[in-house]
Homo-oligomer: A and B are copies of this chain.
Amino acid sequence: MTARILVVGSVALDSVKTSEGEVSEVLGGSASYFSLSARQFAPVSIVGVVGRDFPRRHRELLASRGVDLSGFRELPGRTFRWSGRYGCDGNEAETLDTQLNVFADFKPKLSASQAASEAVFLANIDPELQAEVLSQMRRPSLTACDTMNYWIRSKPEALKALLSRVDVFFANEDEAKALAGQPNALRAARALSSWGPRVVVIKKGEHGALLRAAGKTYAFPAFPLETVKDPTGAGDTFAGGFMGYLACRGGLSDVGQLKRAMLYGSVMASFTVQEFSTKALEDLERGEVDRRFNDLLERLAVPYDPVLIAVN
């Protein structure tokens, strides 16, 4: 049976400027990207909060794509807003403005049904809140969290404690190095693994991602794209593909499944960055996802050399 996934995180209105254009007050937030990605593989529920100004069309969009919004609260006040821009190298966002608004008082309280979800993704929020949500879960079989530099600087101990309790930790390369205090992504992956998570995923944007599992590190390239319109949400989309695939197929202890989950993460992220906001995810069909997955698999596949095999 496919596990149900709960995602706890932000739903936001983003304003973004990249070398390819500019958008204002579009759908954003980690929970939006994650859920629109993971829904390709498994049922998803969002636990999140928006303000009264949250456009009805965004809510309808999520609902019409099968995302369960029973944990979606609308409070008096304004929705979380983020604005940022990307330089020429395109990987790292410069935050221009953050207005937490109703998100400032986000204290997720799970319903009995939400707490019974088999899988949970704790998107980037205060690690103490992430831990509190985790404690509300009944008996999840797949738990994961993400974080950001802000929490690494301000609450490293809470984060470290959280890592000892989750199955999967997702981090960007710079975040992983900073948190682990290591100059190299591979050493960071090893160090973070030693803190408890069975799986560590380090995301490197256009350079792909690292998987640390079962005492070994595996590197995978990103799906090759000649044009990136907007990198916003790539990491949460990656997590959605990774978690969605595992929720659907299981296998945290099967490295083959984890590798496929990495490729599904890359594939989903590659769609997101081809358009602004969640545009590319909204009408994406599973057939397209699998075609790109197979394309990536074929590019990566290195056939054995019959002569080398004969020699060895």
Which A residues are within 8 Å of any B CB, using their own CB?
Answer: 19, 88, 183-187, 190, 204, 206-208, 210, 216-222, 224-228, 249, 256-257, 259-260, 263, 290, 297, 299-305, 307-308, 312
With the chains together, A249 CA to B310 CA distance in Å? 13
CB of B222 within 8 A of CB of A305, answer: no
With the chains together, A134 CA to B221 CA distance in Å? 34
CB of B305 within 8 A of CB of A260, answer: yes
CB of B302 within 8 A of CB of A184, answer: no
Q: Smallest CB–CB gap between A175 and chain B, Å?
A: 16
Within the complex, which residue of B185, B224, B300 is in contact with A300, where a contact is CB–CB below 8 Å?
B300
- Besides the known contacts A218-B224, A220-B300, A300-B300, 6 further A-B residue pairs in the complex with CB atoms under 8 A apart: A186-B224, A186-B226, A249-B307, A256-B302, A260-B303, A263-B302
Assess A302 versus B300: contact at CB under 8 Å? Given A220-B221, A224-B219.
Answer: yes
Closest partner residue, chain B, to A293 (CB atom): B308
Within the complex, which residue of B88, B190, B218 is in contact with A299, where a contact is CB–CB below 8 Å?
B218
Q: Smallest CB–CB gap between A184 and chain B, Å?
A: 6
Assess A303 versus B219: contact at CB under 8 Å? Given A184-B226, A226-B186.
Answer: no
CB of B216 within 8 A of CB of A305, answer: no
CB of B208 within 8 A of CB of A221, answer: yes
Complex contacts, A308 vs chain B, CB 8 Å: 290
With the chains together, A88 CA to B183 CA distance in Å? 8
CB of B224 within 8 A of CB of A222, answer: no
Closest partner residue, chain B, to A286 (CB atom): B311
Within the complex, which residue of B207, B217, B297 is in contact with A224, where a contact is CB–CB below 8 Å?
B217
With the chains together, A301 CA to B208 CA distance in Å? 16
With the chains together, A271 CA to B79 CA distance in Å? 53
Closest partner residue, chain B, to A187 (CB atom): B226
Complex contacts, A216 vs chain B, CB 8 Å: 299
Closest partner residue, chain B, to A312 (CB atom): B290
Complex contacts, A184 vs chain B, CB 8 Å: 226-228
Complex contacts, A307 vs chain B, CB 8 Å: 249
Most chain B CB within a 10 A radius of its CB, from A88, A186, A222:
A186
Within the complex, which residue of B88, B190, B207, B226 is in contact with A208, where a contact is CB–CB below 8 Å?
B207
With the chains together, A219 CA to B301 CA distance in Å? 11
Complex contacts, A224 vs chain B, CB 8 Å: 186, 210, 217-219
With the chains together, A307 CA to B245 CA distance in Å? 12
Closest partner residue, chain B, to A183 (CB atom): B88
